[in-house]
Chain A
């Protein structure tokens, strides 16, 4: 059974600081997705990583994927309050009938303090 582990699960950081969060998974996959969720809201897609060595950046966030280490990182640069949310990583697995299912980590709750 695939396990997806995020580390840390809770992070409180100051504005302007940098931090890296980690997503480890237990089986072979080259499909890794990052999502943001605000309280009571749906999931907002941040990054789609589909190959070993993939790196994508959007604003203050940068994500990377190392399929050999089964590890993805999400780096936060110069955090601002608006980044406060829960961040999920999800691994894509082949499912029935050629479809794909996402298996999510537990999520990391980020609080950025002024």
Chain B
């Protein structure tokens, strides 16, 4: 299995909703990432879990909350989002850092209404 699987593929949520994005890989990778990509922009790192230890890109607001239940699973919990949070959310994984490259999932396209 050489894939990173993300669910759901599309999500529409209201500003008062709570939802979660899910990501799964079975390649034995020990680092997993959340990137955010706004339309016609490059991806930007939000969070890294490396050996299940969290690192946060300091500009990410607290309405985004990551969780790593084990080395194969990564969640992103969403609460009280704003319309400007609408974007493509990409999960990625790598062995540790990117020596073998990064594998990106197909993404979740999130729309906040």
Contact = CB atoms under 8 A, between A and B. Distances in A.
A32 B98 CA distance: 10
B74 interface: no
Contact of A102 (B55, B98, B100): B98
Contact of B98 (A48, A98, A106): A48
B106 A99 contact: no
B21 to A, nearest CB: 14
Contacts of A44: 104
Contacts of A96: 48, 55-56
What band does the interface of chain B fall in when counting residues whose beta carbon is under 8 Å from A? 20 to 34
Interface residues of A, number: 28
B42 A105 contact: yes
Contacts of B100: 48
B54 to A, nearest CB: 8
A4 B1 CA distance: 32
B90 A42 contact: yes
Interface of B: 31, 33, 35, 41-45, 48, 50, 53, 55-57, 90, 92, 94, 96-107, 109
Interface of A: 31, 33, 35, 40-45, 48, 50, 88, 90, 92, 94-107
Given A48-B101, A99-B55, A99-B97, 20 more contacts: A31-B98, A33-B98, A41-B106, A41-B107, A42-B104, A42-B105, A45-B104, A50-B99, A94-B97, A99-B48, A100-B48, A100-B94, A100-B98, A101-B48, A102-B98, A104-B43, A104-B44, A106-B41, A106-B42, A107-B42
Q: Which 8 A-B pairs have the closest CB atoms?
A: A104-B42, A100-B97, A96-B55, A99-B50, A43-B104, A48-B101, A99-B48, A101-B45
